[in-house]
Amino acid sequence: MLLAQVSLRVAETNLTNTERILRIANTRFELGKTSKNELLQLQLELLNARKSVGVARRNIEISTLTLRSYIGLEGDSQLALTIPQAISRMEVDAQTVLAEAFANRSDAIAFVRRLAEAKRDVAKAKGQSGLIATLTANLGFSNSSRTIAGVYRSPQNQQLLQLQFAIPILDWGRSKSRVKTAQANEQFTEYAVEQDKQTFRQEILTQVTLFNMLKEQISLTAEADSIAGEKYHIARERYMLGNLSITDLSIAFQENDQAKRDYVNALRDFWGAYYQLRYLSLYDFEKKQKITY
């Protein structure tokens, strides 16, 4: 929605400037100082500017409806977003992100669980070979009666202790095969977990690098936006004085328009990368505390 608002503001400014320039160009044309081709180019620029305003207003309506639906905001009042003048200069250290991710994420906890389950299966396979003893104990009371109340009157003790042994005489190597299979599965699990850990680490390190790059990118795009705006202002004044062609003026406007869009897109990418880091680590880097719900 912020990008749509910026686009509308730029489109409306361009429309106003184009109308003003076209009036000057008409006067020059009557004086024979402007060519017909240049006048037609400005008329085309005016039509495109009006079309851009219409498209921008449509995008504003769509984005406003989407935002209201997303945050559950009722009513039909106009919404106006403000471009932040400064962003948080928080420092994000890769080792901190890794430590918090391994401490907080369920994926990291699952690594330990998968290894433990593999070791359990090996121990279970080894334990089921050879002598197997089963101890069973029962303790309770027993009674019978024609009435329900009589069942609970003077019940008799009932105790049972049973110990069973099972010794396989010949299992055709099934026990040894189960143990080897469990051990092979354990080795495969260790390899798979290590690979998943590497992928987990790499995803976090890549995201940290991307975040730091985007943080620097915002400063560059903000500076480019300022330069492009000043360049367009100078180009417009020079055209009005007759010292610049319509082509150079159009180029200056396009650069100014693109610079503003790039800055808003850089803001979106920056905060998207930041919240992706929060998701990967479950840690709030601004407040320096774990995220709990």
The whole-number average pLDDT for the span 263-288 is 88
Do 35 and 74 lie in one domain? The reply is yes
Are residues 236 and 146 part of one domain?
Answer: no
CB neighbours of residue 80 within 10 Å: 8
Given pLDDT bands bounded at 50, 70 and 90, which one contains residue 122? Answer: confident
**Are residues 136 and 222 part of one domain?**
no
pLDDT of residue 241: 78
pLDDT per position as a tens digit, 11-39: 888 888 888 888 887 887 777 777 788 77
pLDDT(58) > 90: yes
Number of domains in the chain: 3
Looking at the structure, do residues 258 and 276 belong to the same domain, yes or no? yes
Tell me what pLDDT residue 55 has. Answer: 92
* Predicted local confidence at residue 102, as pLDDT: 87
Reference 107, options 204, 220, 34, 41; nearest CA is 204
Structural domain that includes position 252: 91-130+172-293
State the pLDDT confidence band at 166, using cuts at 50, 70 and 90: low
Which ranges constitute the DSSP H helices of the chain? Answer: 2-30, 36-71, 94-104, 106-127, 148-151, 174-240, 246-281
Within this chain, do residues 2 and 20 fall inside the same structural domain, yes or no?
A: yes
Residue 130 — pLDDT band, cuts 50, 70, 90?
A: low
- 7 and 59 share a domain? yes
Based on the domain organization, do 197 and 290 belong to the same domain?
A: yes
pLDDT value at 293 more than 80 = no
Tell me what the pLDDT averaged over the chain comes to.
83
The whole-number average pLDDT for the span 188-201 is: 89
pTM beyond 0.85: no
What is the number of alpha carbons within 13 Å of residue 252 lying toward its C-beta? 22
Domain co-membership, 140 together with 244 = no
State residue 169's pLDDT score.
63
Residues 150, 64 share a domain: no
Q: How far apart are CA 160 and CA 137, in angstroms?
A: 6
Q: What angle do CA 176, 178, 183 make, to 5 degrees?
A: 95
